[in-house]
């Protein structure tokens, strides 16, 4: 799966990028939320957008809009929406989704994110933070989107829940060929769990790179106000101040091995 954004202009944003299902894509910077909204395609921007080799045109905009789902951080506050099923039914009606077997689709969406279908009748307020995140993703899957956009999805989760949620993202990418886009200003999360990062600033994609390659440009990112992962900063200081010949690693165990080897 591939979405090409070519010479895009929208609300003072100007950029080009190609997003594929081969990566977990991170978006970071002071205006990352704005870029996520542009990528959501609520309106067609200037420029060319090609989704799976088909160019988006005004006539088919609504169909493609359904293929790009932004996971909400909160549930809709409507009096009669209490259970997971009620929220799912609401979203199916709201987006006019044509689903033959609604109950099966709802159960399958829960199973994909690792939740039992028996949860359909659970009240939203009884869910843990981790369960809420997974339910929100399950709701986004009802339209069978090609791209799933998430804003700060790990907020409020402990390390164990974060890892489990990341397993869901990898499953969606590897087994269901979904493009996963995660927006956050937490550099440690991005460094550990994404494979590609878009650094945004002044309504531009300031830098686009594979995660490790991007964060290794420490001086460049620091000069332009981007936060850096603790593991990268530790390695950077060891190289610059202590003249230790070690490499940048995502895995803390590899950093420890390098330190023991070279110090």
* pLDDT score at 38: 93
Options 3.40.190.10, 3.40.50.300, 3.40.50.970, 2.40.10.340; CATH of 1-67+145-211: 3.40.50.300
Measured in degrees and rounded to the nearest 5, phi and psi for residue 81 equal: -95, 100
> What is the C-alpha end-to-end distance of the chain, expressed in Å?
45
Structure tokens at 104: 């099966």
Contact 143, 67 (CB under 8 A): yes
Determine the Cα–Cα distance for residues 41 and 199; give it in Å rounded to an integer.
20
Q: What angle do CA 101, 75, 123 make, to 5 degrees?
A: 70
What are the distances in angstroms from CA 263 to CA 238, 243, 258, 260?
10, 10, 8, 6
Q: Which residues contact 219 (CB under 8 A, 6 or more apart)?
A: none
Torsion of CA 254, 257, 258, 263, to 10 degrees: 150
> For 44, which DSSP code?
P
pLDDT of residue 28: 97
CA 147, chain centre distance (Å): 9
Whether the Cβ atoms of residue 18 and residue 161 lie closer than 8 Å to each other: no
Q: Would you give per-residue pLDDT tens digits along the chain (263 residues)?
A: 899 999 999 989 999 999 999 999 999 999 999 999 999 988 888 999 998 888 888 787 777 777 899 898 788 788 788 999 999 999 999 888 889 999 999 999 999 999 998 899 999 999 998 999 999 999 999 988 999 999 999 888 888 888 889 999 999 999 998 999 999 999 999 999 999 999 999 999 999 999 999 999 999 999 999 999 999 998 898 888 767 778 888 887 877 787 777 66
pTM beyond 0.85: yes
- Count of other CB atoms within 10 angstroms of residue 65: 18
**Cβ partners under 8 Å of residue 51, min gap 6:** 3, 64, 67, 146
Q: Which two tokens stand for residue 79?
A: 């009096």
CATH 3.40.50.300 location in the chain: 1-67+145-211
């Amino acid at each position: 799966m591939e979405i090409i954004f070519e010479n895009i202009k929208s609300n003072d944003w100007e950029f080009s990028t190609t997003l594929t299902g081969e990566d977990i894509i991170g978006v970071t910077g002071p205006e990352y939320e704005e870029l996520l909204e542009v990528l959501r395609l609520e309106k067609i921007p200037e420029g060319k957008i090609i989704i799976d080799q088909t160019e988006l045109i005004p006539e088919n905009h609504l169909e493609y809009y359904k293929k790009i789902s932004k996971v909400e951080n909160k549930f809709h506050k409507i009096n009669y929406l209490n259970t997971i099923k009620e929220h799912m039914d609401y979203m199916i009606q709201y987006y006019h989704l044509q689903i033959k077997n609604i109950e099966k689709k709802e159960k399958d969406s829960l199973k994909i994110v690792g939740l039992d279908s028996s949860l359909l009748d659970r009240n939203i307020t009884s869910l843990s933070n981790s369960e809420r995140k997974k339910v929100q993703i399950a709701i986004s899957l009802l339209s069978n989107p090609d791209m799933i956009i998430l804003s700060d999805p790990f907020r409020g989760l402990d390390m164990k829940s974060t890892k489990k949620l990341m397993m869901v993202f990898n499953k969606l990418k590897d087994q269901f060929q979904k493009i996963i886009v995660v927006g956050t200003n937490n550099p440690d999360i991005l460094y550990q769990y994404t494979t590609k990062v878009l650094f945004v600033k002044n309504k531009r994609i300031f830098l686009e790179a594979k995660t490790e390659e991007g964060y290794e440009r420490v001086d460049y990112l620091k000069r332009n106000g981007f936060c850096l992962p603790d593991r990268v900063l530790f390695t950077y200081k060891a190289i610059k101040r202590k003249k230790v010949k070690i490499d940048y690693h995502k895995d803390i165990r590899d950093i420890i091995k390098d330190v023991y080897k070279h110090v």
